[in-house]
A and B are shown apart, each in its own frame.
Chain A
């Protein structure tokens, strides 16, 4: 069982919908990450939060909006997505940002219709 919990497991949304992906960890980790993974490709980093502050935004379109309400929670708000945004969205955490072991969630498989 993973110690990083992502909900929902699957999400289908239309291009005009607004939805949110959620990620939770209770390991006391102070760095949390969002990755996007297309089929048969490696994960691509989207955002990093360190001590609840946005540390890295890898030039992600504004239709993806991250939020870190507290040290245990990480959200990804979705609005006006495109079909090409369909992918597996992975959350991860680590004790600190940088050289520390990563713990991944099982991901949310998003389909945009």
Chain B
């Protein structure tokens, strides 16, 4: 069983839609990262959170440590949001990232 499960694996949305990507993990963690990777490779760190909720522009990330679950929400989605979104909790004694397989989001105009 994977330590980090993301859903959905693929998501197609129309511009303007509200999007939710979910992440469940089975390991004990101290923090969780949400990352964005565009075609071509570069990765951008969107959030690092260990409790509650964080908001940055149209992006909102939440985490429930007791339920071992995190969500990434995108409000008023735009084609430029098209990317792979990766959930990556930090676990282990040295705080390594444990990567989910990613959610490929495509937002159509």
Q: Are B41's CB and A42's CB within 8 A?
A: no
**B residues less than 8 Å from A107 (CB atoms):** 41-42
CB < 8 Å: which of B48, B96, B100 contacts A56? B96
Interface range for B: 20 to 34
B76 within 8 A of A: no
**B residues less than 8 Å from A43 (CB atoms):** 43, 99
Interface of chain A residues 55 through 113 with chain B (CB within 8 A): 55-56, 88, 90, 92, 97-107, 109
Q: Are A104's CB and B86's CB within 8 A?
A: no
**A residues less than 8 Å from B44 (CB atoms):** 104
CB-based nearest B residue for A89 = B41
**A26 CA to B85 CA, complexed, in Å:** 27
CB-based nearest A residue for B100 = A42
A45 within 8 A of B: yes
**A41 CA to B9 CA, complexed, in Å:** 12
CB within 8 Å for A42 and B86 given contacts A88-B41, A101-B48 = yes
Q: Are A98's CB and B41's CB within 8 A?
A: no
CB within 8 Å for A106 and B42 given contacts A42-B86, A42-B100 = yes
Q: Are A104's CB and B43's CB within 8 A?
A: yes
B residues in contact (CB < 8 Å) with A: 30-31, 33, 35, 40-45, 48, 50, 86, 88, 90, 94-97, 99-102
5 A-B contacts, Cβ less than 8 Å apart? A37-B41, A41-B101, A45-B97, A98-B30, A100-B48
